Structure 1
Amino acid sequence: MTTGATSPVTTPRPSRPAPTVRTRAGCLRGTEEEYDGRTLSVFRGVPYAQPPVGPLRFSSPRPVRPWTGVRDATAFSPPFLQPRPPGGSEDALYANVWTPDPGGRRPVLVYVHGGGFQVGAADAPACDGAKPAARGDLVVVTFNYRLGAFGWGLHEDLTDPRTGDCANWGLQDQTALLRWVRDNAEAFGGDPGAVTLCGTSAGAVSARLLAGSARTEGIVKRLVAVSAALPWAPALSLTADDARTAYEKLAAGSGTSVAGLRYVPAEELQAAWLGLFDGPPERRLLASGREYRGPVVDGRTVAAGDPPLPPVPVMSVHCRTEGSFFTDPHSLSFPPAPPAPANDDELRAAVRDVLLKCTAHVPDEEVAACVEAYREAAAAEGLPGDPLSLWTEVWGDALLRYQIVRLAERHAAEGRSPQHVMEFAHPVRPPHFGTPHDATSKFLFGTHAHPTLVGQFGDGPLERRVSDAFVDLVASFARCGTPSSPHVPHWPEFAPGRPSTLILGGPGIARIGDASKLRRLRFWDGIDWLPGA
């Protein structure tokens, strides 16, 4: 356990020889760094697929071409091209590896970053793999994948002749990364038979799909899904028909065919794609993709029907206040938070806007019933009932928490693998509020003390103990399937109807109980909000 005044940081050890490893494609030279007294070998910017540029745009990922000599692996690659920050590139299919010992044989934690399928990167400050590698004694892998128009869509004119696939190139990249890990884990001291897949937000949506995919069968042994929604249209993905229309519109606007989109300048294509989703969802050409544009059902990479329950042991995590990521005017969410409602009329309008992210038609009486149900639940639970708080809870539950909780209950009833459920409840610092959708990664990676994050997430003794506990739980789960930590009581498998959810965060660090704010979820049951939940 860290006991210093501030969280430890990774520091290079220039006096030691640079670590080298031999992957199937060639040799790599990384750096040797120290974290909290433990030496790590770190390899950054390691290619796991060929650059998806030119004729390989909208193609299935191709294996890396072998190289001769020793390749430098000391710097992150650019993030994939995205609306922000500037400096992204299509040539971004690279991984990063933190390992306590390239000569060892440790469990591997593969992390899929979030970002609404539009933004995010493996070099984000929040996702530095040093702490889970050092404290958890894990080999940690992060990576980039294709985003936006380049990663999440569908059109038969983009069919890859080698694979027959024409959709979800970002998901295909993630599959290629897992196969790369299987083939190369031993080079970094990892055990290819002990791979745990972890994702947050959009990354967790992907991770759930990958854990149950025949394409990755036998690779993923355990799943940590953090704030994992269903990949459902119209809220979080396009329908197949809308995806086809989108690419046809892009092609017409660029004066080319759909296949010709491979050669349109990347920035031009990205700008045109973003333009398709400008304005309120109900006024757009496309009826789906209302909030985000993620995995499209194509019958190959994503099957039709309710997503299957993961066949591997699951740690399902959700945040206590998922919605405060979207409604906090001080957060860095993308897109930024709209103005908060200040009275009842504005609250009803704001709630209507939330519901319209998920469905094309919202009767007035449904809006009124939603507001009333949440106001009554807040009063019964002794929680704030002001417009900002109610709007925040509706947003988080409608898109995320309701389905996460109900899916966990479904897994407990129908699943064939063990499941542990956590509510992450550590509060952020004012003027931020609640435990927002993006809070977990900062504690899983111990990066809450980073200069860009500490103002929101803090770095006191309590934050460090919460982070230590989170790392312990994930590392022990990756090692043996039973999460444990000295800071946490015995965590049983999830059983609805009895206290079995781990509440992590706050002054007591951790306790076993029932998830909070369950009363308000009954509203969504009454309107049959989600199939399969």
Structure 2
Amino acid sequence: MTFARFAAAIAALCLGMSVEAAAQPVVKAPAGIVRGIEADGQQMFKGIAYALPPVGERRWQPPQPVPTWDGVRDATQFGPACQQPGYPAGSIYTETYPAMSEDCLSLNIWTPAKAKNAPVFVWIHGGNLIRGSSSQPMFDGAALAKRGIVVVSINYRLGIFGYFAHRELSAESPEGISGNYGLLDQIAALQWVKNNIASFGGDGANVTIAGESAGGLAILHLLAAPRAHGLFTKAIVQSASLMNLPDLKQARFGLPSAETISDYYATAFGARTLADLRAIDGPTLTALATKARFVSTAIVDGKLLPRQLVETFERGEQARVPVMTGFTSGEIRTMASILPGLPDAGQFDAAKYEAAIRANYGELGDRFLSLYPAADMRESILAAARDGFFAWTSQRLVREQAALGQPSYLYYFDHGYPAADDRGMHAFHASEVPYMFGTIDRVTAQWPAIPDTDTERALSDAMIDYWASFARTGVPTARNQPSWPSHGAKAGYMLFAAKPQVAYDLLPAQYALHDQVICRRRAAGNIPWNWNMGLIAPPLPPAQETCK
């Protein structure tokens, strides 16, 4: 028995634990004492509650701190996933969870056994703000912890539980707002990290927040939310969108107010009052929300999110921190079902495609067709959605952050491998995640299997290095790999293909086109800028002096 284990055994006995339990690490944090797992020079603590369960009469209220607990809490098992519907049939992202509950506000920590003042990396999972969990094997933090990083992953309220606004909830709130409960959970988790992470060897003054897809969107929310500022020092945004959000009380940009939308859902659920809604049990409410096609989205409430995300970044009101952001070349290949009008072979000929684009895009129609031609309509439609949703966001974000004088780093993941490419899924949405976590052997059962080769492991090792280095210093570097340039004046970025390589000026004509289209829609004030691109785009508003 090492001295450290001997000391842990003595401490455990003093706390009333068995000698067998003493082989597990025990940490005394301000929140309370927890017992975790130690293996391979690392410690892991699972399922630590960071806020009280938002159930029953507390459903749709801000998270409240957990009182300091007595005794030793077991932290060897993941907490329940937040209550959620199943995945669509055939989804490669399908996961199953041993337990789901509204009592889901927990976090997990991976830490080097002898960590002290180590940089902290907080991961927020994706899943369309409806599905997902911090317990997914792909999000295992061990590889990053081996680079000297303390990794934290969190659960937060999802779907109808996390993003439901209602007039009675707004009236009940001292701030007169409702709806952003998942965002409030994320802020509460970051506050817990700030107060407690030193006990686990982390530096609460060096915290990087990171997420992909809806998790990346959550990072944009946190960058834009004044209440979150000061709780993190760097941000990583993977495959997210500066899409427009519903306003709490006003109809704007083609969307009804969030409170108006809630009336529709309450009626669909057969509920007349807030008390009726709170009386519905969690699984039943989840099923009702799924049947009613509940759209889970953050809300511009004037307090947590003062204004539309892109407006916040334009005004320089976001958190002034270094940012790393990027997207994959095949983002839409596993999400084509979200694009109504995606033509099958023989359904839509080239002449009809070109006519529809010219009708939708007016004087910009020829520019659109030069970038997304009719020669391969399916590929053009997928590329246009990728560029207008993900690519525009990533490039806009690095530009706005650089304008604040903050280092900003852009990446483009264009890596393929046989099992994915053979299924027409080259560099699909989220395909970079197992590489940057070092979990290429722990993808879902439906995920195209990543081969165990030197090439795949080398790319993964490089990405782990870059992500860990950014968390450590704000500058992404990797052993024996090219230096990643800050976006800056030369518009440099890192291309992840067979291996990392530096490139410049990513998709410039595509960015300029979509920036113009989105600017005109914003100026019109009554058109969303979400997935409505290409064949499903509304008529282009007139040119504006402010859109040049």
Is 1:156 equivalent to 2:149 in the alignment?
no
The equivalent of 2:500 in structure 1 is: 510
Is 1:304 equivalent to 2:307 in the alignment?
yes
Partner residue of 2:430 out of 419, 438, 444:
438
Q: Tell me the SS of whatever aligns to 1:527.
A: helix
How far apart in 2 are the matches of 1:217 and 1:59? 21
How far apart in 2 are the matches of 1:153 and 1:79? 19
How far apart in 1 are the matches of 2:377 and 2:440? 29
The equivalent of 1:123 in structure 2 is: 135
Partner residue of 1:323 out of 332, 335, 346:
332
Q: Evaluate the alpha carbon distance shift between residue 214 and residue 234 of structure 1 in structure 2; reply closer, same or farther with a 3 A threshold.
A: closer
Larger deviation, residues 296-305 vs 510-519: 510-519
Q: Is the 8 A contact 2:357 2:368 kept in 1?
A: no
Mapping for residues 399-478 of structure 1, pairs under 5 Å: 399-412=389-402, 414-428=403-417, 429=420, 430-450=422-442, 452=444, 455-478=448-471
Query: CA-to-partner distance for each residue in 1:79-134, whole Å, 9 max, x for gaps?
Result: 11111257421111110100002652200000111111111110112211111111
How far apart in 2 are the matches of 1:394 and 1:452? 28
Larger deviation, residues 516-525 vs 76-85: 516-525
Partner residue of 1:277 out of 280, 286, 293:
293
Mapping for residues 57-72 of structure 1, pairs under 5 Å: 57-72=59-74
Q: Is the 8 A contact 2:485 2:492 kept in 1?
A: yes
Q: Evaluate the alpha carbon distance shift between residue 16 and residue 217 of structure 1 in structure 2; reply closer, same or farther with a 3 A threshold.
A: same
Is 1:21 equivalent to 2:10 in the alignment?
no
5+ residue gaps, structure 1, are 1-13, 279-291, 330-334, 353-361
The equivalent of 2:384 in structure 1 is: 394
1:299 alignment partner AA: G
Q: Tell me the SS of whatever aligns to 1:107.
A: strand
Instruction: Report the alpha carbon displacement of residue 320 of structure 1 after superposing the two structures with TM.
Output: 2.1
| RMSD (CA atoms) | 3.3
Q: Tell me the SS of whatever aligns to 2:199.
A: helix
Q: Evaluate the alpha carbon distance shift between residue 310 and residue 56 of structure 1 in structure 2; reply closer, same or farther with a 3 A threshold.
A: same
How far apart in 1 are the matches of 2:246 and 2:350? 23
Query: CA-to-partner distance for each residue in 1:240-270, whole Å, 9 max, x for gaps?
Result: 8442133323434434303442221222222
How far apart in 2 are the matches of 1:43 and 1:259? 37
Q: Tell me the SS of whatever aligns to 1:194.
A: strand
Query: CA-to-partner distance for each residue in 1:136-178, whole Å, 9 max, x for gaps?
Result: 2100000110111111132231145466542210000000000
Mapping for residues 239-254 of structure 1, pairs under 5 Å: 241-252=256-267, 253-254=269-270
Q: Identity across aligned pairs (percent)? A: 29
Partner residue of 1:314 out of 298, 319, 323:
323
TM-score by length of 2: 0.79
Query: CA-to-partner distance for each residue in 1:27-60, whole Å, 9 max, x for gaps?
Result: 11111122xxxx1100111100111100111000
How far apart in 2 are the matches of 1:23 and 1:385? 61
5+ residue gaps, structure 2, are 1-19, 87-95, 524-546
Q: Is the 8 A contact 1:373 1:520 kept in 2?
A: no
Q: Evaluate the alpha carbon distance shift between residue 483 and residue 222 of structure 1 in structure 2; reply closer, same or farther with a 3 A threshold.
A: same
1:377 alignment partner AA: L
Is 1:105 equivalent to 2:98 in the alignment?
no
How far apart in 2 are the matches of 1:195 and 1:65? 24
Please list every run of at least 4 consecutive aligned residues from structure 1 whose deviation after the TM superposition is greater than 6 angstroms: 335-339, 346-352, 367-372
Query: CA-to-partner distance for each residue in 1:180-199, whole Å, 9 max, x for gaps?
Result: 00001011110111111111
Q: Is the 8 A contact 1:126 1:441 kept in 2?
A: yes
Q: Is the 8 A contact 1:129 1:140 kept in 2?
A: yes
Q: Evaluate the alpha carbon distance shift between residue 140 and residue 300 of structure 1 in structure 2; reply closer, same or farther with a 3 A threshold.
A: same
Which of the two has higher C-alpha Rg? 2
1:33 alignment partner AA: A
Q: Is the 8 A contact 2:107 2:154 kept in 1?
A: yes
